[in-house]
């Protein structure tokens, strides 16, 4: 799952009824205009005109439409009657302080990892609603940070009014984390159908499923390169006997421990696999720079061990060189995505949340 910001006790736990989508009020727009020049931290030279899009709850994994004029995202917000994460859609110039965006998912179960399909009239996302209409239980408290890999997750497509159009997966085990190629021909996703958490691709209609990765460990959060020929993803691959034993024991309980992850790049068919980070701790939520020659990602490798984790955005070349820090929040920035034309960056952050645990979405002009 791409929602590792729950390390900060921000685990999405949503479910909601279907509200009517409304446009942001003039008051909301005024608030955003007043704040947009004060939302940056010192050193954030690549971000200009930062604008806050949501104002409360936990909001993350916002991804642009193919045209770049809309965002699809997941959110947990009690004010939206959303006790565990559900999927919403919005225009990029809208803000959500007192109104509720258009709900795309069913409002039942728990969802994750939405993305626009070609044509921007449909959405792909994963949901547990067919297994249980209630929010699935949180993992047990064991003293270790773990993610649940709910076996009820299946991948669906829906229109912008929330009507499910097609179920793309129907297998025992976890199927989720789907994203779509910029070419509009393929989908990449993570599944346990082999007995391990591996990457797979399928055609846009769900056919022609091919396994991409084959090594023991949690491979997930994959995105295509701008030309659709490569994949960038994060992986926690155990190497020692002790780590392998722990990984397998957790996986048997539908759990993983994602505290040590590095980034990998490969061709869409899995060939030419390369590990491109060796930074330690958690490196994840990668996304290709529009040039296809760099990657932006989230990391806490610079945090002091034993202290409070600090997640920021970093950028580097595909060969691992040229590491540059992009954001300088003291708590959490993650889930970066460039607009298709490369002029904007959307991300999630704990910045300026009044000392709460709320995670909001922000959009900024990108400055090279």
146 contacts: CB under 8 Å, gap ≥ 6: 139, 250, 255, 256, 257
What pLDDT is attached to residue 8? 42
Under CATH, domain 4-366 is a member of which superfamily?
TolB, C-terminal domain (2.120.10.30)
Q: What is the pLDDT of residues 242-286, one digit of tens each?
A: 999 999 999 999 999 988 999 999 999 999 999 999 999 999 999
C-alpha distances in Å from residue 345, one per residue of 16, 24, 142, 220, 317: 28, 21, 37, 22, 18
Each residue's pLDDT expressed in tens, for the chain with a length of 368 residues = 444 444 443 333 322 222 223 333 333 333 334 344 689 999 999 999 999 999 999 999 999 999 999 999 999 998 999 999 999 999 999 999 989 999 999 999 999 999 999 999 999 999 999 999 999 999 888 788 899 999 999 999 999 999 999 999 999 999 999 999 999 999 999 999 999 999 999 999 999 999 999 999 999 999 999 999 999 999 999 999 999 999 999 999 999 998 899 999 999 999 999 999 999 999 999 999 999 999 999 999 998 766 677 999 999 999 999 999 999 999 999 999 999 999 999 999 999 999 899 999 999 999 99
Q: How many CB atoms lie within 10 A of CB 334?
A: 29
Q: What is the pLDDT of residue 144?
A: 85
Dig out the tokens for 246 from the structure.
Answer: 């722990």
In order, the DSSP letters of 210-247 are EE---SSSEEEEEEE-TTSSEEEEEEE---SHHHHHHH
User: How many whole angstroms separate alpha carbon 363 and alpha carbon 343?
Assistant: 11
How much is the pLDDT for 317? 97
Cα(216)–Cα(226) distance, integer angstroms: 28
Taking the C-alpha atoms of residue 89 and residue 18, their distance in angstroms, rounded to an integer, is 13
pTM above 0.85, yes or no: yes
pLDDT at position 319: 93
The pLDDT tens digits for 102-120 are: 999 999 999 999 999 999 9
SS3 35: helix
């Amino acid at each position: 799952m791409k929602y590792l910001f729950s390390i900060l006790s921000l685990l999405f736990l949503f479910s909601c009824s279907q509200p009517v989508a409304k446009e942001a009020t003039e008051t909301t727009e005024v608030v955003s205009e007043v704040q947009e020049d004060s939302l940056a931290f010192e050193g954030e030279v690549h971000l200009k005109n930062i604008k806050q899009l949501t104002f409360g709850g936990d909001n993350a994994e916002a991804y642009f439409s193919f045209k770049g004029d809309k965002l699809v995202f997941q959110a947990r917000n009690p004010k939206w009657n959303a006790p565990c994460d559900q999927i919403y859609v919005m225009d990029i110039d809208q803000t959500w302080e007192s109104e509720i965006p258009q709900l795309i998912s069913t409002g039942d179960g728990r969802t994750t990892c939405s993305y626009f399909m070609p044509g921007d009239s449909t959405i792909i996302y994963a949901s547990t609603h067919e297994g249980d209409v209630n929010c699935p239980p949180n993992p047990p408290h064991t003293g270790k940070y773990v993610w649940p890999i709910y076996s009820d997750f299946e991948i669906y497509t829906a229109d912008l009014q929330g009507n499910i159009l097609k179920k793309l997966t129907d297998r025992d085990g976890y199927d989720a984390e789907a994203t779509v190629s910029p070419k509009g021909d393929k989908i990449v996703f993570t599944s346990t159908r082999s007995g391990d958490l591996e990457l797979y691709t399928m055609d846009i209609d769900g056919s022609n499923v091919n396994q991409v990765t084959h090594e023991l460990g949690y491979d997930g959060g994959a995105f295509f390169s701008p030309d659709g020929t490569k994949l960038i993803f994060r992986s926690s691959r155990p190497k020692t006997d002790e780590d392998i034993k722990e990984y397998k024991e957790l996986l048997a309980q539908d759990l993983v421990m994602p505290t040590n992850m590095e980034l990998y790049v490969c061709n869409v068919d899995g060939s030419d696999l390369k590990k491109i980070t060796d930074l330690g701790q958690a490196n994840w939520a990668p996304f290709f720079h529009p040039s296809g020659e760099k990657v932006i990602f989230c990391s806490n490798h610079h945090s002091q061990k034993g202290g409070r984790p600090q997640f920021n955005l970093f950028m580097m070349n595909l060969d691992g060189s040229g590491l540059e820090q992009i954001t300088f929040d003291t708590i959490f920035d993650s889930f970066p995505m460039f607009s298709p034309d490369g002029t904007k960056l959307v991300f999630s952050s704990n910045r300026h949340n009044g000392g709460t645990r709320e995670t909001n979405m922000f959009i900024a002009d990108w400055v090279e």
